[in-house]
Amino acid sequence: MIIAVDGPAASGKGTIAKALARHYNLPHLDTGLLYRAVAATVRRLELDPTREADAVAACDFDELTLADPVLREEEIGKLASVVSAHPLVRAALLQRQKRFAHQDGGAVLDGRDIGTVIAPDADAKLFIRATPTICARRRHNELISHGASVSFDQVLADIRARDTRDSSRSTAPLVPANDAALLDTSFLSIEASIEKAIALVEARRRKEG
Ligand SMILES: Nc1ncnc2c1ncn2[C@@H]1O[C@H](COP(=O)(O)OP(=O)(O)O)[C@@H](O)[C@H]1O
Ligand SMILES: Nc1ccn([C@@H]2O[C@H](COP(=O)(O)OP(=O)(O)O)[C@@H](O)[C@H]2O)c(=O)n1
């Protein structure tokens, strides 16, 4: 079974995708980490994220980068959103994600274009959302708990700018697939949102079967 989980920044898609992977005993890929690794490599090599050729060169990143705590920085999230808008960057990371999604036994992937581009054939597609203020509050708490000093207003502005850029790019924009089930987690606890996500996947499976 392939499960696609998409949604804007800090909506809770990673939390839900990890929980679904545990529940169904499937491997999980956080595809945002790939774009964050490109961004971190661009920054380390002092390349220009707005130049497509520079960003493509950074797609050949060292695998160890994927475990680097710098990937969590909001600055890296912002840079990831800049590099991810280049069509050739998306093309360079495409096969890796498609292979992961279509491995024997299935997988859970979360990102922006899983249900639309990486696995349009997914058995279940969820589009997670929450209000920008709630997403920003969650991300702010997360950043503070990891020792960052950043204001709530800055996080909210960053998230809004990133979601706007991700939704308006021409290649693989952040948009729900036509057949995605929408899950608004604004007023749901983590536990409740996971329960709801499992129920939505089960409903899709029953419909397919
Ligand atoms: N329903 C929820 N209620 C409260 N906090 C949540 C909820 N879902 C996720 N979180 C928290 O919000 C932060 C962002 O969640 P995450 O799953 O990483 O979002 P995303 O993958 O969409 O960026 C994390 O600290 C997570 O623990
Ligand atoms: N499948 C994906 C995943 C991430 N991304 C890009 O990578 C950035 C960081 O993604 P992420 O999932 O790590 O971000 P958060 O939602 O965790 O804040 C996003 O803002 C997108 O620009 C993408 O374009 N396509």
Query: Is the shortest distance between the CB of 7 and ligand 1 below 6 Å?
Result: yes
Query: CA-based diameter of the chain, in Å?
Result: 51
Q: Is 90:171 a contact under the CB 8 Å cutoff? A: yes
Question: What pTM did the predictor assign?
Answer: 0.97
pLDDT one-digit tens code per residue, 43-91: 999 999 999 999 999 999 999 999 999 999 989 999 999 999 999 999 9
Domain membership of residue 199 (yes or no) is no
Atom of ligand 1 nearest to the CA of 193: 1
Encode pLDDT of 147-197 as tens digits. Answer: 989 999 999 999 999 999 999 999 999 999 999 999 999 999 999 999 999
111 known member of a binding site: no
15 is in an annotated binding site: yes
Tokens of 50: 């707005």
Single-letter residue type at 158: D
Q: How far is the CA of 209 from the centre of ligand 2 (A)?
A: 32
- Structural domain count, the chain: 1
CATH of the domain at 19: 3.40.50.300
What range does the domain containing 27 cover?
A: 2-188
